[in-house]
Amino acid sequence: MANTTKKKLSFEEGWPILQESINKVIAKIEGSHQNQITSEEYMQIYTIVYDICEANPHHPDCQKLYQQFQKIFEDYIPSKILPTLRGKEEEKLLKELVKQWDNYKIMQRWLTRFFHYLNRFFIPIKRLPSLEQTSHLIFYKLVYGEMNDQVRDAVISMIHRNRKGEEIDHDLVKKCS
């Protein structure tokens, strides 16, 4: 009879593999033409998360994964999103904000799928914000914490231009409001 005991992965063993897949998602969002993640890769990633937690939501490595999920977004926003927004004004700022937010949501969806085990088992037990909530809170804190005044001024300026009879992109204003 074959040995069916599977070696559990430690966080330190599994994280580099997860990081590689996360980097693929980020590269794709940023316009790289590399291959997409296949369904086999996706299942491998989910299995790695499951194995790191050892199918036990109380395992300390689950907390490490949750913290790394947060850190991915906390590192990505200041290094990739905020630089594209700084220095832009009016409509250009709003268009870039909408573009970055759309890309961010794609990244968030993929990473939430990767870390789905945490959402189903770890987060409810620990009573933490869901992965979606966590990523949205980070975006709000970092992007709107820095850019709120500029975004508000750009929206108000576009509204004033509209009231003076100028044509504006109403959908853009709506997406930023």
pLDDT in tens, 10-28: 899 999 999 999 999 999 8
pLDDT over 60 (residue 3): no
Which residues 6+ apart lie within 8 Å of 80 measured at CB?
A: 26, 30
> What's the predicted TM-score (pTM) here?
0.88
pLDDT in tens, 75-92: 999 999 999 999 999 999
pLDDT over 80 (residue 152): yes
Q: What is the pLDDT of residue 7?
A: 61
Terminal-residue alpha carbon distance, the chain: 63
Q: Is the dihedral of CA 25, 28, 33, 35 positive or negative?
A: positive
